[in-house]
């Protein structure tokens, strides 16, 4: 039976450090993440300004955060696939394509959320 590690302030601090390292790696090595980060910097304040009430603001900004999260996961999948299988393999290509598709679907979600909320303003 596996024992669970205690979760206290020290472990939470370590997790925050690892998360910061992941964000730094995403920013440093992934141009798509940087582009989406710049778009987040522009659109998140706009979403907070345009949203009427907490739910709309959460949907407008949250949809953007989902894209950034998926981009980091996609980059992680690509890094692991490249490490394990540097030569082309159909399954490796499929894994990378599926990660990319996940980011694409969340970008469509951003357009849907923003479009539906802003459509009400017209």
Q: Is 57 annotated as a binding residue?
A: no
DSSP string, 4-28: PPP--HHHHHHHHHHHHHHHHHHHH
Q: Is 115 annotated as a binding residue?
A: yes
Which residue among 36, 56, 71, 90 is the active-site one? 71
Q: Is 114 annotated as a binding residue?
A: yes
Q: Is 93 annotated as a binding residue?
A: no
Q: Is the distance from CB of 44 to CB of 61 less than 8 angstroms?
A: yes
Q: Is 90 annotated as a binding residue?
A: no
Q: Is 87 annotated as a binding residue?
A: yes
Question: How far is the C-alpha of 34 from the C-alpha of 73, rounded, in Å?
Answer: 14
Residue 71: active-site member: yes
Query: 96, exposed or middle or buried, with CB in 10 Å at 0-12, 13-18, 19+?
Result: middle
Binding residues for substrate: 71, 100, 114-119
Binding residues: 30, 71, 78, 87-89, 96-97, 100, 114-119
Binding residues for a divalent metal cation: 30, 78
Binding residues for ATP: 30, 78, 87-89, 96-97
Residues marked as catalytic: 71
């Amino acid at each position: 039976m596996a024992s669970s590690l205690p979760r206290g302030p020290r472990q939470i601090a370590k997790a925050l450090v690892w998360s910061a390292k992941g964000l730094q790696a995403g920013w440093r090595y992934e141009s798509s993440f940087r582009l989406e980060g710049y778009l987040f910097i522009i659109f998140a304040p706009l979403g907070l300004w345009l949203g009427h009430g907490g739910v709309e603001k959460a949907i407008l900004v949250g949809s953007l955060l989902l894209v950034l999260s998926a981009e980091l996961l996609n980059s992680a999948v690509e890094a692991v696939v490249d490490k394990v299988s540097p030569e082309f393999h159909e399954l490796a290509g499929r894994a990378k394509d599926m990660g990319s598709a996940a980011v694409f679907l969340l970008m469509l979600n951003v357009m849907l959320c923003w479009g539906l909320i802003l459509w009400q303003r017209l």
